[in-house]
Amino acid sequence: MAKDAYARAGVDITLGNRVKSGLGALVRSTRRPGVVGGIGGFGGCFDGKIRGYRRPVLVASIDGVGTKLKVAHQLGRHGTIGEDLVNHCVNDIAALGAEPLFFLDYIGTGKLDPKVFRQILAGLVRGCREAGCALIGGETAQMPGIYQGKDYDLVGSIVGVLEKGKATDGRSIRPGDVILGLPSNGLQTNGYTLARDILRKARLRLGQKLPGTNQSLGNLLLAVHPNYRPALLKIGKQAKIKGAAHITGGGLIDNPPRVFPRGTAAEIRLGSWPIPPLFRALVDKGRLKLTEAYRTFNMGIGMIVVVARQDVNKVQKSVRCYEIGRIVKGDRKVMLVA
């Protein structure tokens, strides 16, 4: 059967429909109370009367996974990229104390590959299901000329909820409070452009093992971005979380100040947590200055929480974390101290 003109130009609507057929059962596994109707319409619907909240405030965020996609392409492994995206978005709103409600995704590609699409979707569904977040819609766009070949971009938006007046907004942070760091699982979803450039110039291959580990560089680079909300919930049962920051682009230099009130700053104590071998290799091979490394990469800390000094021991007994610094007087900045 001959292709129609649109397909010959590079956009195969029939293929797109065939690839997306049968998604209903997979997506339904992410349903949660509040979802109205099914997937496939012009918009996803969610009931505005959210159970368990008297004065609900919606919290929204949108993000992507950056050039981690290039690593997935190089290795031909796309099964965890969707999970990375969901967890990144969940963490962004969890830092404010929000419960995730629903998620939407966008996949833009030059040429739709059914196998890759199914891998991406499986990761999206797995991430949503584990976060208790409904996948209620999305968009798959074939755009040859914008995206080259089978290259694709992946973006997600999330909406969550919290009780009005209960946001973890940093207002109660005071000098003397303690900064605790939750360990990361690798680069997570930031710093890949610099990391790939360093590894390329150092002629390190994705298939070779990184010294000091039993894993290949490829596996380390594709490690799944963790969902930190379960840990935050455990901490919240032990202590008041005065502020939390997801350590994404901007690293440990630019992200913590986003939750600092006026008149406060932070001292991050170098050597107070173990730096994973991948980061040590990137700093060494890239000959990076400390400030550049800590501003680009998470350096082994994926989320920080600020608590009162008297709550530190209780928190450390409930979750794996490190005491990495303290709040001091200052002008909303982070200082790295030995």
Domain of 220: which CATH number? 3.90.650.10
For the chain, the average pLDDT equals 94
Three-state DSSP at 1 gives coil
Instruction: Enumerate the H helices of the chain as residue ranges.
Output: 5-9, 13-20, 23-28, 68-75, 81-94, 114-131, 192-201, 217-221, 229-238, 251-254, 277-286, 290-296, 312-318
Same structural domain for residues 183 and 96? no
Model confidence at 273, pLDDT cuts 50, 70, 90, reads very high
Residue 11 maps to a domain? yes
Please identify, among 130, 163, 196, the residue that sits at the C-terminal boundary of a domain.
Answer: 163
Same structural domain for residues 62 and 118? yes
The residue-averaged pLDDT of 102-128 equals 95
Cβ 46 vs Cβ 136: under 8 Å: yes
Same structural domain for residues 100 and 145? yes
On the 0-12 / 13-18 / 19+ scale of CB atoms within 10 A, 74 is middle
Same structural domain for residues 100 and 189? no
Residue 241 maps to a domain? yes
All residues at 6 or more sequence positions from 233 whose CB lies less than 8 Å from its CB, including other chains? none
Q: Which domain holds residue 202?
A: 178-337
Same structural domain for residues 196 and 153? no
Same structural domain for residues 121 and 195? no
Please identify, among 138, 163, 188, the residue that sits at the C-terminal boundary of a domain.
Answer: 163
Q: How far apart are CA 132 and CA 19, in angstroms?
A: 25
Same structural domain for residues 124 and 156? yes
Instruction: Please report the pLDDT score of residue 269 as a whole number.
Output: 98
Instruction: Please report the pLDDT score of residue 12 as a whole number.
Output: 82
Please identify, among 102, 128, 163, the residue that sits at the C-terminal boundary of a domain.
Answer: 163
Same structural domain for residues 134 and 54? yes
Same structural domain for residues 231 and 101? no
Same structural domain for residues 304 and 155? no
Same structural domain for residues 219 and 195? yes
Q: Which amino acid is at 146?
A: I
The residue-averaged pLDDT of 79-107 equals 97
Same structural domain for residues 151 and 206? no
The residue-averaged pLDDT of 208-223 equals 94
Instruction: Please report the pLDDT score of residue 2 as a whole number.
Output: 56
Three-state DSSP at 76 gives coil
Residue 116 maps to a domain? yes
Q: How far apart are CA 226 and CA 83, in angstroms?
A: 9
Q: How far is CA 122 from CA 82, 116, 207, 292, in A?
A: 7, 10, 24, 35
Q: How far apart are CA 182 and CA 273, in angstroms?
A: 10
All residues at 6 or more sequence positions from 297 whose CB lies less than 8 Å from its CB, including other chains? 187, 190, 191, 194, 195, 251, 279, 282
Count of other CB atoms within 10 angstroms of residue 72? 24
Overall number of domains in the chain: 2
Model confidence at 15, pLDDT cuts 50, 70, 90, reads confident
pLDDT over 60 at 315, yes or no: yes
Residue 168 maps to a domain? no
